[in-house]
Structure 1
Amino acid sequence: MATESHGAEEGLVFHPMDQFLVTPLFGDGAVAWYTPTNVTLWMALTVLCVILLLVIGTRRRAVIPSRSQSVAEMAYGLVHKMIEDVCGKDGLKYFPYIMTLFMFILLANMLGLLPLAFTTTSHLAVTVVLALFVFISVTVIGFVKNGAHFLELFWVSSAPLALRPILAIIEVISYFVRPVSHSIRLMGNMMAGHAVIKVFAAFAPLVLFSAVGIAVTPLSILAITAIYALELLVAFIQAYVFTILTCVYLKDALHPGH
Structure 2
Amino acid sequence: MAAERGSKIDPMHQFLIEPVLGQRWIVGGYDLSFTNSALWMVLTLGALWLFMLAGMKRELIPGRAQMAVETFTGFIQTMLISNIGPEGKRFLPYVFSLFMFILFANILGLLPFGVIPGVHPFTVTSHLTVTGVLAIISFAIVLIVGFGRHGFHFFSLFVPNGTPALMVPLIFVVELMSFLVRPFSLGLRLFVAMTAGHILLKVLAAFVINGVNLVDGANASLGYIALVSIPSFVLMVGITLLELLVAAIQAYVFALLTSVYLNDAVNLH
CA shift for structure 1 position 165 = 1.6
Instruction: Indicate whether 1:219 and 2:227 are aligned.
Output: no
Q: Which residue of 1 aligns with 2:266?
A: 254
Residue 81 (structure 1) aligned with residue 78 (structure 2)? yes
TM-score by length of 1: 0.90
Which residue pairs with 2:10 in the alignment? 15
CA deviations on 1:145-171 (whole Å, 9 max, x unpaired) are 111111110112223322222111011
Letter in 2 for 1:102: F
Distance 2:180 2:51 in 1: 35
Asked if residue 153 in structure 1 is aligned to residue 148 in structure 2, the reply is no
Residue 79 of structure 1: how far off its partner (Å): 0.3
Give the distance between the partners of 2:166 and 2:21, measured in 1 at CA.
62
Q: Find the residue that maps to 1:125 and give its secondary structure.
A: helix
What is aligned with 1:3?
A: none
Q: Can you give the 5+ residue segments of structure 2 that lack an aligned partner in the other structure?
A: 113-119, 215-220
List gaps (5 residues or longer) in structure 1: 1-9
1:4 alignment counterpart: none
| 1:106 CA displacement | 0.6
Structure 1 contact 14–202 (Cα < 8 Å) conserved? yes
Cα distance in 1, alignment partners of residues 242 and 121 from structure 2: 18
Shift, 1:28, TM fit: 5.0
Higher mean displacement: 64-73 or 169-178: 64-73
Provide the rounded CA distance (Å) in 1 between the counterparts of 2:207 and 2:84.
48
Deviation at 1:185, TM superposition (A): 0.3
1:35 positional shift? 1.3
Contact 2:48-2:100 at 8 Å conserved across structures: yes
Q: How many residues align?
A: 247
Q: Assess if the C-alpha contact under 8 Å between 1:39 and 1:118 holds in 2.
A: yes
Name whichever of 66-75 and 26-35 sits farther off: 26-35
The answer to whether the 8 Å contact 1:132/1:179 transfers is yes
| Residue correspondence of structure 1 range 1-258 to structure 2 within 5 A | 12-29=7-24, 34-54=32-52, 56-115=53-112, 116-205=120-209, 206-207=211-212, 210-257=222-269
Deviations 1:121-152 (A, max 9, x none): 00011011100101111101100111111111
Deviations 1:19-53 (A, max 9, x none): 00000013254885521000100101111111111
SS of 1:204's equivalent in the other structure is helix
